[in-house]
Structure 1
Amino acid sequence: MIVERRIKIYTEQHNIDKPPQVEGFPMKEWTVEIYLLDQEGKEHPAKCFTKAVYHLHPSFENPVQTFTSPPFKCTNEGWGEFEMTIDLFTTEKGGKNTIIHDLNFAAAEYEQIHTIQFKNPSQALQQILRETGPLPSDEERKLKKADAGKKKKSVDVEKMADALVKLGEDDLLQVIQMIHDGKDDNTYTSNNIDAGEFSVDLYTLPEDLMKKLWDYLSRINALS
């Protein structure tokens, strides 16, 4: 699954009362901040990132600067304009997005919008991303669940769900294998191996698989 989101890079700059390092170029203090945008364009803290690494012009004394809390505020002083790169990291394996930001002094404040992708986000990251809009799988899952809800199930799905979360590791692995073996094209599952996460929408399971799981849980007394 690939999730797209827009981020806003906000820049503010102003002159400061310090001797110019280069004649004709006043000293500036500038700040860059990073925000996540929802579908209406409203700002949200970019909690989807664990850190932002700014790569400034090599003339800076500290050209690589790392920040670990939203809005990942980076403030520096200088006289020149330049392009910087910003690496945005998530907890996912390979979860890095790199953007190029044009630092310029044409306006006191300005914004740049970038669209970035999150590939196969973990369940935890999916919950954060849902704060700014639905995920590609959400509507599909909703339709499947509604369709499944119209069919009479031979088991108590809610009771099964309660039992599954209480299983020990061995029984849980057996259940996951049963789901992998018995699911069909309408079954929604998500398996993030790197994060050690597996999830399934029970309402989208085939009827025969639902019955097999119920029988298995009954045999191991997990439904009591």
Structure 2
Amino acid sequence: MVSARSSSRRTMEPSTRGTRFDFSRRAGCSKPRIWRTATDWDCSEQVMGPPPNRRFGGVFLGLSFAAGMAPADLLRPLEGQREETLRIVEGLGPADLDRLDRQTGWSVRQLCAHLVSAELGEAFVIRRALDGELMHLTQEERDSFNDAQADGAGGWDAARIKSELTEAMDTLREVFQEMSEEDLDRPVRWPEWPARTIRSSIPYMVEHEDSHLDQIKEALKD
């Protein structure tokens, strides 16, 4: 939902885990890099549907609703992507977590913390949509939150990151387990994603994590 920022970041007061979860109760959004090139997918505000099928984490990103599937089953592509992220995280030491991504200026640790807070934000926005509330978050609010949450993860080691990523996925899954098939077409709004329903937001969640995992891998090469 929110992509790490490509320009120099403002200095933010470190936040706490409680602050992050407080945000997940109040507002949440992230800024993704939708696809790798403009021609891969039209990201204009006129686009209403999901991008074409794509493979992430060993699964195809398709959103057709087969007979017998539950809404939570549509999270399988994201869960596959998360498995790949966790495999990378498990092998990281303190020095690895301090490596910087040149594009964003964030450390590997901060990028991982961003994935956690973004997913909690997604869960919150979707839960509010299920309650009939269409949330709006400005890009400035989004960026301020992202910076604060990334800076607040200074003490996280690989085990803490893995735990936080797992807990965030569990939170999102719980929201989807509460849905009916009709709920998937409830309206949502994101600061930059063109998706306009819960269903059509799922590919952007997957691509968001995939893009940041690419940044993590690049940082680890340096």
Work out whether the TM-score is over 0.5. no
Higher strand proportion, which one? 1
With normalisation by structure 2, the TM-score equals 0.22
- Between structure 1 and structure 2, the one with the greater Rg is 1
Higher helix proportion, which one? 2
With normalisation by structure 1, the TM-score equals 0.21
Structure having greater relative contact order (Cα 8 Å, sep ≥ 6): 2
